[in-house]
Amino acid sequence: MSDSSSGSVPPHSVPPLSIPPLSIPPLSIPPQWVIEKKRDKEVLSEEEIRGFIAGYTDGSIPDYQMAALAMAIYLNGMTFEETAFLTDAMMRSGELLDTSSLTRPKADKHSTGGIGDKVSLVLGPIAAACGLDVPMISGRGLGITGGTLDKFEAIPGYRTDLSEAEMIKVIQACGCSIVGQTRSLAPADKKLYGLRDVTATVPSIPLITASIMCKKLAEGIDSLVLDVKWGRGAFMKELDQARDLASNMVQVGRSMDKKVSAVITRMDQPLGRSAGNAVEVQESIDCLKGNGPEDLMEVTLALTAEMLVLSEVADSPEAALAQCQAAIDSGAALEKFRHMVELHGGNPAVIDDPTVMTAAQSIEPFAARNAGYVTDVDAEAIGRGVLVLGAGRTRAEDGVDHAVGVSQLVKAGEFVEAGQPLCLVHANPASQLEEAHDWFGKAFSLSDEAPESNASLSLITETLR
Ligand code: URA
């Protein structure tokens, strides 16, 4: 049952609802002079950054000059002010979502991504049930980390390609809409991210900051919580790198008058007990029914609570956590999920019957050879195994198999008998099952000795407020 009259939003039923891009004066100097300045470690001016990005967006500055500037930024960095101008210029390269018709505080979360990270599916509905409007523009999986859009698309009928106007209508009705990036949102980032990918310029703090923040700030939100992950299964392997990125993004957001905080979380083991697409939808629904795994719930509730505090819907993290828990216990958050799925054209029967999602042809246990205590489950190896099963993609243009993945993963600290499953492997004929098994074989470490109780260690390293 929905919490108001529902049904999916018909495509293109209302005119576009967005704020057009700013018109930026073109560069008054040749682009190579800007590249030269950054090559020589000089600081670029606001006009130079805005003019360069505007020229790259309209095609008057070619890829090779943008690639040269990206490499100069990669090598020589940017000051905080330059990064903020770059973020703003990229945000204004396209339309901004006009959220002025939304009446509740507008907040979102961004994660730098990890294995089994299904937090958005659970957090969006809880935040909506607690009084926020959540316009969440998400991405697809690439490499070993999954993407929120791929997970939602495992639900039959769920449309991730709503127009801005459709998205606003969904949020007005249920408080939350999770969609993909439209062509008109931050087009400079779309072009530049593809270029960075093939010019070895992705791992640069100013470029990552501008890329992530320009898309999130184009959503027209008041508050943003960042989940910056570090560890084996994360983009940032070291804590110091994660801290640098988090603090850069927080400062840039604040300089643009947004309330921003960052929660730095560990990503060494998969989050929750599943990795894939349909299997993660099912686990997310379990979370909303109050049966989520402890690690996943810890991260989800901490991030949602931070959104409530930033939005001044709760006056302390403790009060916010209690509100989130109440939204789960009362069924209000599950109801928001059901309503959002319906409004996106998805089949809401998925909530009570996961078999409406296509299942894999074989679901077999991956068994322990010996008895022992699980001392480690390597997130990266699980991610690689799930990727070769077909749940992820190695190139942006590839499709994914929504049905494959792993479920019922054991956790560090648990004891298994020889022959007991370490996880269930969901595979289809196109899955590279042998290679996947090799990865799963590397992922699990067992020992005769009970590990020190690290299972109870918090995944939350620190919060930057
Ligand atoms: N995610 C993004 O959106 N951009 C980056 O540069 C890195 C991760």
**Which pLDDT score, from 0 to 100, does residue 376 have?**
94
Q: What is the 3-state secondary structure (H, E, C) of the chain?
A: CCCCCCCCCCCCCCCCCEECCCCCCCCCCCHHHHHHHHHCCCCCCHHHHHHHHHHHHHCCCCHHHHHHHHHHHHHHCCCHHHHHHHHHHHHCCCCEECCCCCCCCEEEEEECCCCCCCHHHHHHHHHHHCCCEEEEEECCCECCECCHHHHHCCCCCCCCCCCHHHHHHHHHHHCEEEEECCCCCCHHHHHHHHHHHCCCCCCCHHHHHHHHHHHHHCCCCCEEEEEEEECCCCCECCHHHHHHHHHHHHHHHHHCCCEEEEEEEECCCCCCCCEECHHHHHHHHHHHCCCCCHHHHHHHHHHHHHHHHHCCCCCCHHHHHHHHHHHHHCCHHHHHHHHHHHHCCCCHHHHCCHHHCCCCCEEEEEECCCCEEEEEECHHHHHHHHHHHHHCCCCCCCCCCCCCEEECCCCCCCEECCCCEEEEEEECCCCCHHHHHHHHHHHEEEECCCCCCHHHCCCEEEEEC
- What distance in angstroms lies between residue 172's CA and the mean position of ligand 1's atoms? 29
What residue owns the CA closest to ligand 1's atom 6? Answer: 208
**Which pLDDT score, from 0 to 100, does residue 142 have?**
78
What residue owns the CA closest to ligand 1's atom 7? Answer: 208
Is 338 known to be catalytic?
Answer: no
Atom index in ligand 1 nearest the CA of residue 207 equals 6
Sign of the C-alpha dihedral, residues 126, 189, 233, 365? positive
Please state whether beta strands 176-180 and 134-138 pair in parallel, antiparallel, or not at all (unpaired).
parallel
208 lines ligand 1 (CB under 6 A): yes
314 lines ligand 1 (CB under 6 A): no
- What distance in angstroms lies between residue 374's CA and the mean position of ligand 1's atoms? 33
Choosing from 50, 151, 215, 229, the catalytic residue is 215
What residue owns the CA closest to ligand 1's atom 1? Answer: 212
- Beta-bridge partners for 406: 275, 425
Is 215 known to be catalytic?
Answer: yes
444: phi then psi, degrees, rounded to nearest 5: -100, 130
Kindly state the tokens that stand for 416: 């298994």
What residue owns the CA closest to ligand 1's atom 8? Answer: 208
Give 319-328 contacts, CB < 8 A, sequence gap 24+.
320/130, 323/130, 324/126, 324/130, 325/301, 327/126, 327/129, 327/130, 328/126, 328/287, 328/288, 328/289, 328/290
Helix 332-343 to helix 317-329 angle, to the nearest 10 degrees? 70
Atom index in ligand 1 nearest the CA of residue 212 equals 3
- What distance in angstroms lies between residue 211's CA and the mean position of ligand 1's atoms? 5
- What distance in angstroms lies between residue 328's CA and the mean position of ligand 1's atoms? 31
Is 426 known to be catalytic?
Answer: no
**465 residues of the chain, pLDDT tens digit each:** 333 333 443 333 334 456 767 778 889 999 999 999 999 999 999 999 999 999 999 999 999 999 999 999 999 999 999 999 999 999 999 999 999 999 999 999 999 999 999 999 999 999 999 999 999 999 888 788 889 999 999 999 999 999 999 999 999 999 999 999 877 899 999 999 889 988 999 889 999 999 999 999 999 999 999 999 999 999 899 999 999 999 999 999 999 999 999 999 999 999 999 999 999 999 999 999 999 999 999 999 999 999 999 999 999 999 999 999 999 999 999 999 999 999 999 999 999 999 999 999 999 999 999 999 999 999 999 999 999 999 998 887 889 999 999 999 999 999 999 999 999 999 999 999 999 999 999 999 999 998 776 555 899 999 999
From CA 174, how far away is CA 156, in angstroms rounded? 20
Kindly state the tokens that stand for 132: 């926020």
What residue owns the CA closest to ligand 1's atom 5? Answer: 208
Question: Distances in Å between the alpha carbon of 320 and those of 14, 32, 305, 306?
Answer: 35, 51, 5, 8
- What distance in angstroms lies between residue 87's CA and the mean position of ligand 1's atoms? 12
210 lines ligand 1 (CB under 6 A): no
From CA 176, how far away is CA 172, in angstroms rounded? 8
Atom index in ligand 1 nearest the CA of residue 215 equals 3
Please name the amino acid found at residue 422. L
From CA 267, how far away is CA 459, in angstroms rounded? 8
Question: Distances in Å between the alpha carbon of 307 and those of 193, 296, 460?
Answer: 28, 17, 16
201 lines ligand 1 (CB under 6 A): no
**Which pLDDT score, from 0 to 100, does residue 454 have?**
57
- What distance in angstroms lies between residue 228's CA and the mean position of ligand 1's atoms? 12
